[in-house]
Amino acid sequence: MTGGTHESLGVDLSGFNASLLVPGIGAQGGTVESLPAIFGAATRHVLPTASREVIGHGAGELVERFERLVLATAAL
């Protein structure tokens, strides 16, 4: 587990072969688009979490925010 708000992890994860839980996407400042720059070849193992971004703006925006994050993640 490592936060998605870092500019650099300071480690080489290219040989990593397990899931990486990455909180901090959205409301905490991390972006899905920045994940490849942070995680490089290990991006395929990243499981970004964005619960505050999805639920933090009320029920009226929940579906829209969820769909936006799913599309951004799928583009990786």
The pLDDT tens digits along the chain (76 residues) read 777 777 778 888 888 889 999 988 888 888 899 999 988 889 999 988 888 888 887 888 888 988 988 998 888 8
pLDDT of amino acid 49? 87
Inside any domain, residue 17: no
Inside any domain, residue 10: no
Runs of H (alpha helix) within the chain: 35-39, 51-55, 59-74
Look up residue 17 and give its two tokens: 């072969």
Q: How far is the first Cα of the chain from the last one, in angstroms, to the nearest whole number?
A: 19
pLDDT of amino acid 58? 80
Are 32 and 69 contacting, i.e. CB atoms less than 8 angstroms apart?
A: yes
Inside any domain, residue 14: no
- Domain containing 66 equals 50-76
Whole-angstrom distance, CA of residue 12 vs CA of residue 39: 8
The number of distinct structural domains making up the chain is: 1
Whole-angstrom distance, CA of residue 47 vs CA of residue 76: 12
